[in-house]
Amino acid sequence: MTSPNLYVHRRTSGPRAAAAWDRRQVLMNNLRTVLGRAFPRLIGLTREPSWLLFEVGLPFLTTSAFVLVYRALQAPPEYIGFVVVGGAMTAFWLNVIWMMAAQLYWEKDQGNLELYFTAPMDMMAVLFGMAVGGMLASCLRAAVVLIVGSVVYGVHFSVDQWLPLLAVFFLTLVALYGLGMMLASLFVLWGREAFHMTQLLQEPMYFVSGLNFPVGQLGFLGALAIALLPLAVGLDAMRQLAFAGGTVVFATPSPGIEMAILVVMAVVFLVLARFCLRTMERLARHEGRLTARWR
């Protein structure tokens, strides 16, 4: 029925040599893992086209609701722009919390988590692959909100410095995804309870991050948010750069300082993510939480 030669793919003479990977092998394994894990997300986009309506089209309507609140209040036009930028960044935040942080809970539920943990790659590569896979849908959603918001609601961006704006956007994403990886480690350990905690990361997070208003209006709470939450500081910096020269007083640090905060956040979150993932994996192995409870 089969040729025995089909099965033979040995590069080394013994198991201990086979287990001794050099740095290049480790790096390539992790890079390929990123691609491999992004693959199902990308394939899913082409095979289930309804996401275009439900993930892109309809959420734009939610952003529109907040725009119309400001219109009803006859707010200055910059505030419409704030809501549009906030709505665009919501796409990435939801990608972080649902497609990365909470995803390990779903993976455990479906029995994939133990297959990941018995494979040689780094879990951070898996999580990054999830993020990359979801990035396309998030970018499209953000773009739709920005473009259609600008066209339909007449938002005028006045960008003086494009490079810092792009840098802030990129740093915000890095910090967000680092935070997401940290949160993912909690899901390995907590299970269903962490799903509920993710719910706490929606509306309450929107409030303290100033998703629809300048976060400086929150006073001390806003200052705390800028120090601790990448969404808050990234949004504020992007608004300052995208609506430069406007009449709105942000009452927050300058974009340069906020960019520095983002750099620190990105580094800290990524380092902490690595530490937390390893610690949590060890704790989960100790308590037997890597597999679904009823198996």
Q: Which of residues 160-219 bind other proteins (CB under 8 A)?
A: 193, 196-197, 199-200, 202-204, 206-207, 211-214, 217-218
Is 117 near other proteins (CB under 8 A)?
yes
Angstrom distances, CA of residue 155 to CA of 77, 148, 288: 7, 10, 53
Nearer to other proteins, 150 or 202 (CB): 202
Residues 239-278 that bind other proteins (CB under 8 A): 275, 278
Nearer to other proteins, 74 or 163 (CB): 74
In whole angstroms, give the CA distance from residue 276 to residue 209.
24
Q: What is the CA radius of gyration of the chain?
A: 22
Query: Least Å distance between CB 275 and other proteins?
Result: 5
In whole angstroms, give the CA distance from residue 104 to residue 127.
9
Is 44 near other proteins (CB under 8 A)?
yes
Geometric angle at alpha carbon 270, from 269 and 275, rounded to 5°: 95
Residues 274-293 that bind other proteins (CB under 8 A): 275, 278-279, 281-282, 285-288, 290-291
Residues forming beta bridges with residue 158, ordered by sequence position: 243
Q: CB within 8 A of 141, min separation 6: which ones? A: 55, 56, 59, 60, 88, 91
Residues 90-109 that bind other proteins (CB under 8 A): 109
Residues 3-22 that bind other proteins (CB under 8 A): 4-10, 15-16, 18-21
* Cα–Cα nearest to 231, from 89, 103, 85: 89
Nearer to other proteins, 62 or 161 (CB): 62
